Amino acid sequence: MPHVRGLPSPRAVVWAVASAIVAVGSAALLGGCAEAGAPTSAGHAAPVTGPAELWPGSKPVPAEPPATGSQEKPQPLTALPRVPSGDIRKVSAGSVLLAQIDVDKRHGQPVFDKDEERTIRSCADKPGSDSCPVRAPEYHDLTGDGKDELIVGVRSGSNLLIIYAYTVKNGVVTSILDSTSSPQSVEVADHKLVIHEPGDAPGYESRTVYAWDARHQVMTIQDVGYGRRAPASATPSGR
């Protein structure tokens, strides 16, 4: 098409129209981003806590295939006195463990054999000694509500550790974790319970992470991993 003198060339018209379209599109895009990206509150966040190893002085169990599991729903221990304050430290850890054993037997699911149960009952009020399979109670916030939960560990057989965790729900001591494993070490970090177990190959370990499940009100498995074992110097020693 011939160009008429005094009028802009077709190429100049096309270029002006394209530039206008790009400018309008950019303005719309920027306006949309500004509206969609407006800051919103995520609510209150629980404070992050560092790793704290549980029972650091205990000898690791022999390496055998792990048998880690978790419970599906909270289990109230109604035989124990109510705790209106919600402070689980007001309840004897030994009495909590014995109440747990009684409930398991009543449901036809005893965890310990008769000899183990007899030994546990004889020393439940003084846990932590070398002759007692019940380890000293640990208190850590597992639910992120700012209150401590009770963690109880009991040796069973030659290579197993039964780990229970309890919270106070509506004034009732309630079980939120029942785990069986053969741990090399156990720790709490950022409200999570982490169990390290020896791996099949030297220098390797498996790691199971339990985290609070607010929907089901129990500690559930969040992650299972396998990798090289951390150097001994890197293992946290604080309680």
| Model confidence pLDDT, tens digit, residues 79-112 | 999 999 999 999 999 999 999 999 999 999 999 9
Does the residue 3 lie in any domain?
Answer: no
The pLDDT confidence band at residue 15, using thresholds 50, 70 and 90, is: very low
CA atoms within 13 A on the CB side of 27: 6
Does the residue 44 lie in any domain?
Answer: no
Does the residue 195 lie in any domain?
Answer: yes
Phi, psi angles (nearest 5°) of residue 220: -120, 160
Q: What is the pLDDT of residue 17?
A: 45
Task: Measure the CA–CA gap between 181 and 70, rounded to whole angstroms.
Answer: 10
The pLDDT confidence band at residue 41, using thresholds 50, 70 and 90, is: low
Does the residue 104 lie in any domain?
Answer: yes
Task: Measure the CA–CA gap between 96 and 137, rounded to whole angstroms.
Answer: 11
**Residue-number span of the structural domain to which 141 is assigned:** 52-234
Residue 211's CB is within 10 A of a number of other CB atoms, namely 18
Q: What three-state secondary structure class fits 32?
A: helix
Q: What is the pLDDT of residue 42?
A: 59
Contact (CB, 8 A) for 96 and 89: no
The pLDDT confidence band at residue 8, using thresholds 50, 70 and 90, is: low
Radius of gyration of the chain (CA): 29
Task: Measure the CA–CA gap between 64 and 70, rounded to whole angstroms.
Answer: 19
Does the residue 45 lie in any domain?
Answer: no
Give me the number of domains the chain comprises.
Answer: 1
Does the residue 110 lie in any domain?
Answer: yes
- DSSP 8-class letter at 144: S
Does the residue 15 lie in any domain?
Answer: no
Q: What is the pLDDT of residues 106-163, one digit of tens each?
A: 999 999 999 999 999 999 999 998 899 999 999 999 999 999 999 999 999 988 999 9
**pTM for the whole structure:** 0.70
Contact (CB, 8 A) for 236 and 187: yes
Greatest mean pLDDT among 51-55, 227-231, 232-236 lies in 51-55
Give the mean model confidence (pLDDT) for residues 23-42: 51
* Percentage helix, strand, coil for the chain under 3-state DSSP, each rounded to 5: 25, 30, 45
Q: What share of the chain in percent tops pLDDT 90?
A: 59
The pLDDT confidence band at residue 174, using thresholds 50, 70 and 90, is: very high
Residue 42's CB is within 10 A of a number of other CB atoms, namely 6
Does the residue 23 lie in any domain?
Answer: no
Task: Measure the CA–CA gap between 195 and 175, rounded to whole angstroms.
Answer: 18
